[in-house]
Chains A and B, each alone.
Chain A
């Protein structure tokens, strides 16, 4: 199997680029940005930055009020998980029925997944009461690459987060490598 051979998957993968990854409907956060979840996070990570919980302190800063830790951005719109059967679904929070490049690559034997890049961008800090929506769009799918893990594709998607006023508050670029572990050492 050489990387230079025509790739039968290419046309199918190309059709996903620029399209939503998953549902075309934005995901609405189950809850508003809220203090209990912030407290849970700062305790879990032992983050003692007072702007996250100390209202008096935060009022004297340039924020003017408490703010959510910026790295929690993705947390607010995480889907509610169906715990039963989550291992059998490979960790997917719920049954995935929609057509997407990940399931297509899985079905073609590229079952390995390695996260390679995360790029978070914050337009503003979030405060309790904000209610987020997120939309995920496939940004690119690389040509088939030969790597030390085997043959595979870099799949990149961008999640855009907006608030209750439809203002964009943040973005995340995420890239994974989907590979076929059976092709390790398959250098032509």
Chain B
């Protein structure tokens, strides 16, 4: 991913390429430790089930990281994120692939850059894990 989208190539209603994240314990633990989140619910199955969770589950920092990656994989390296706002729902657990989908909700020219608003959703068979909005900027064409 070295080429960035030009704002002229982006229209409201465009779908982002869907991304399916295979969910394993390793994915969850790697993200938790890389984000320095040592909460046992993100690496210790006995602890997680003892708290009523079905298994260890992804921490929110990692969810935000994947949402960010999903959007910049599409927009390219010149994309600069302004915000990631998500509502949290079903847990992201091993064995439940997480499907990322997104749609361009709004585009606004702002001086020498464009503000692009993307509606994002990460869901598994349990329901919506995260839904919300990412706002990014791209340099004008």
**A11-19, A80-88, A97-105, A134-142: which lies at the B interface?**
A80-88
A164 at the binding interface (Cβ < 8 Å): no
- Cα distance A49–B78 in the bound complex, in angstroms: 10
Q: Give the shortest distance, in Å, between A126 (CB) and chain B (any CB).
A: 12
Distance A13 CA – B110 CA, assembled complex (angstroms):
42
Return the contact of A50 from the options B64, B77, B88 (Cβ within 8 A): B77
Partner of A45, one of B39, B40, B69, B88: B69
A5 at interface, CB cutoff 8 A: no
- Pick out which of these stretches binds chain B: A20-28, A116-124, A152-160: A116-124
> For window 55-109 of chain B, which residues contact chain A by CB distance below 8 Å?
60-69, 72-73, 77-78, 80-88
**Beta-carbon contacts under 8 Å, B20-72 to A:** 30-31, 33-41, 44, 47, 52, 60-69, 72
* Interface of A (DSSP majority class): mixed
- Complex Cα spacing A33 to B80, Å: 18
| In the complex, residue of chain B having the shortest beta-carbon distance to the beta carbon of A38 | B34
Q: Which of A46, A47, A81 has the most CB of B within 10 A?
A: A47
A118 vs B69: C-alpha distance when bound (angstroms): 17
A128 part of interface (Cβ distance < 8 Å): no
- Using A61-B78, A70-B68, A87-B47 as known contacts, say yes or no to A48 and B1 having CB atoms under 8 A apart: yes
B2 interface contact, C-beta 8 A? yes
Q: Are B72 and A86 in contact (CB under 8 A)?
A: no
Q: Are the CB atoms of B35 and A41 closer together than 8 Å?
A: yes
Answer whether A45 and B31 are a contact pair too, CB < 8 Å, given A72-B65, A115-B88, A122-B83.
yes
Partner of B84, one of A43, A78, A120: A120
**A75-B41 in contact (CB<8A):** no
Contact across chains for A57 and B2 when beta carbons are under 8 A apart: yes
* A75 touching B61 in the complex, CB below 8 Å, given contacts A44-B34, A51-B77, A116-B88: yes
Q: Given contacts A44-B30, A44-B34, A49-B77, are A118 and B83 in contact (CB under 8 A)? A: no
Name which residue of chain A comes closest to B83, CB basis. Answer: A121
B68 touches A116 (CB 8 A): no
Q: Residue on A with the closest CB to B69?
A: A47
Closest to A120 in B: B84
Residues A61 and B65 in contact in the complex (CB < 8 Å), given A40-B34, A86-B38, A115-B60: no
Cβ contacts A to B, 16 pairs, < 8 Å: A41-B65, A46-B69, A47-B65, A50-B77, A69-B68, A71-B64, A71-B67, A74-B61, A75-B35, A91-B47, A93-B38, A116-B88, A119-B85, A120-B84, A120-B85, A122-B80
The interface of chain A, by Cβ under 8 A from chain B, is 37, 40-41, 43-51, 57-58, 61-63, 69-72, 74-75, 78, 81, 83, 86-87, 91, 93, 112, 115-122, 125, 181
